């Protein structure tokens, strides 16, 4: 197998560590041990994590993986630099971009802040209000959009990764081009790996935020929520049904009344024109379909 870097980017508190470990499991099932990149990744992290994607760092990373002789997964929260973009464009790397509903990220950041202050830790201790966390998320969304639009990156939505895990494992394995026992990978990772999968409740913004807070945050992040924050597995179902000209496809829409997601069973009909492979992907990433959800087919 050709050695390359698999970049596991994620918004903080979006299930990115879980996605990283699941991707590692795919490679490990196929005799690609995930060697630690000592001297290159950040020493304070126990896993292969780096945020420096300068020209020099990317060159060193590529050289290290070439020397190992098989793909290595690297986790990051960093910016997409020109050097990282070139690596993806030239197929020296592929990867995924993990993201989450901003309201869920805010709640998770507040949880982390409370825990950090209780334990006397510096990291996340400043997260003491919804407004502070929302400003942090606003900046992070722009970084995430850049990774989403990068070549050879597939999007992974938090709710799919956390609650439909075997299917997401299959999608990642399909992207890589390797077989996988998805259920085994899920069991191994969730039972024995540190994934920061804490409360693990879906749509907790509906119960942990007031209606007023929900509405305010929905309006603040409306574009990102409406465009991206729905199951990508549903998107694949819609595309498949549309291509087969079958009526009553299921497509996700947002009900702004309570800022929650609902399914409209009558949203697509037999007259829906299939998306061409060179047309813009209907998920809103800005990529051509063949470079985005077409990769998941």
Residues of the chain above pLDDT 70, percent: 78
- State the pLDDT at residue 238: 35
- State the pLDDT at residue 270: 30
Domains detected in the chain = 5-229 (3.40.50.300)
- State the pLDDT at residue 245: 32
- State the pLDDT at residue 234: 60
Comparing 41 with 114, which gets the higher pLDDT? 114
- State the pLDDT at residue 125: 87
Q: How open is the CA angle 62-150-94, to the nearest 5 degrees?
A: 40
Q: Give the mean model confidence (pLDDT) for residues 3-28.
A: 95
Q: Give the mean model confidence (pLDDT) for residues 102-125.
A: 90
- Among 15, 290, 24, CA closest to 152: 290
Q: Give the mean model confidence (pLDDT) for residues 81-110.
A: 96
Confidence class of residue 2 from pLDDT cuts 50, 70 and 90?
confident
Residues of the chain above pLDDT 90, percent: 61
- State the pLDDT at residue 5: 97
β 72-76/153-157 pair status:
unpaired
- pLDDT tens-digit series, residues 216-261: 999 999 999 999 999 988 654 434 433 433 333 323 333 333 333 3
Q: Give the mean model confidence (pLDDT) for residues 39-65.
A: 89
Residue 274 pLDDT exceeds 90: no
Q: Give the mean model confidence (pLDDT) for residues 90-116.
A: 94
What pTM did the predictor assign?
0.78
Contact status, residue 170 vs residue 182, Cβ threshold 8 Å:
yes
- CA gyration radius for the chain? 19
Rounded Cα gap, residues 220 and 239, in angstroms = 29
- State the pLDDT at residue 202: 82
Which conformational region is residue 281 in: left (phi greater than 0), alpha (psi within -120 to 50 degrees), or beta? beta
- State the pLDDT at residue 11: 94
- State the pLDDT at residue 3: 92
Residue 281 pLDDT exceeds 90: no
- State the pLDDT at residue 244: 35
- State the pLDDT at residue 39: 82
Poorest-confidence range of 126-140, 216-230, 263-277? 263-277
Q: Give the mean model confidence (pLDDT) for residues 62-88.
A: 96
- State the pLDDT at residue 239: 42
Question: What does pLDDT average to over the chain?
Answer: 82
Q: Please, is 212 exposed, middle or buried when counting C-beta atoms within 10 Å of its C-beta (0-12, 13-18, 19+)?
A: exposed
Comparing 241 with 100, which gets the higher pLDDT? 100
Poorest-confidence range of 77-81, 160-164, 193-197? 193-197
Residue 273 pLDDT exceeds 50: no
């Amino acid at each position: 197998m050709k050695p390359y870097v698999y970049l596991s980017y994620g918004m903080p508190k979006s299930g990115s560590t879980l996605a990283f470990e699941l991707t590692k499991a795919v490679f490990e099932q196929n005799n690609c041990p995930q060697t630690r990149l000592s001297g290159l990744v950040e020493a304070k992290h126990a896993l292969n994590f780096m945020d420096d994607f300068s020209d020099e760092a990317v060159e060193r990373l590529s050289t290290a993986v070439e020397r190992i002789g098989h793909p290595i997964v690297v986790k990051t929260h960093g910016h997409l630099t020109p050097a990282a973009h070139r690596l993806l464009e030239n197929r020296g790397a592929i990867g995924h971009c993990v993201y989450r509903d901003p309201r869920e990220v805010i709640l998770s950041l507040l949880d982390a802040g409370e825990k950090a202050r209780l334990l006397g830790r510096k990291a996340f201790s400043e997260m003491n209000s919804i407004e502070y966390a929302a400003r942090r998320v606003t900046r992070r969304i722009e970084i995430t959009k850049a990774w989403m639009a990068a070549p050879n990156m597939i999007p992974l939505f938090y709710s799919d990764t956390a609650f439909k895990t075997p299917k997401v494992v299959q999608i990642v394995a399909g992207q890589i081009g390797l077989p996988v026992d998805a259920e085994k990978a899920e069991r191994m990772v969730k039972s024995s790996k540190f994934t920061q999968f804490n409360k693990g409740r879906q749509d907790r913004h509906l119960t942990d935020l007031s209606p007023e807070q929900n509405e305010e945050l929905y309006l603040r992040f409306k574009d990102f929520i409406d465009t991206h924050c729905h199951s990508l597995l549903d998107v694949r179902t819609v595309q498949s049904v549309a291509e087969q000209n079958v009526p009553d496809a299921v497509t996700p829409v947002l009900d702004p009344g309570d800022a929650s997601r609902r399914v409209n069973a009558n949203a697509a009909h037999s007259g829906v024109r299939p998306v061409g492979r060179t047309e813009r992907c209907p998920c809103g990433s800005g990529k051509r379909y063949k470079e985005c959800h077409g990769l998941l087919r």
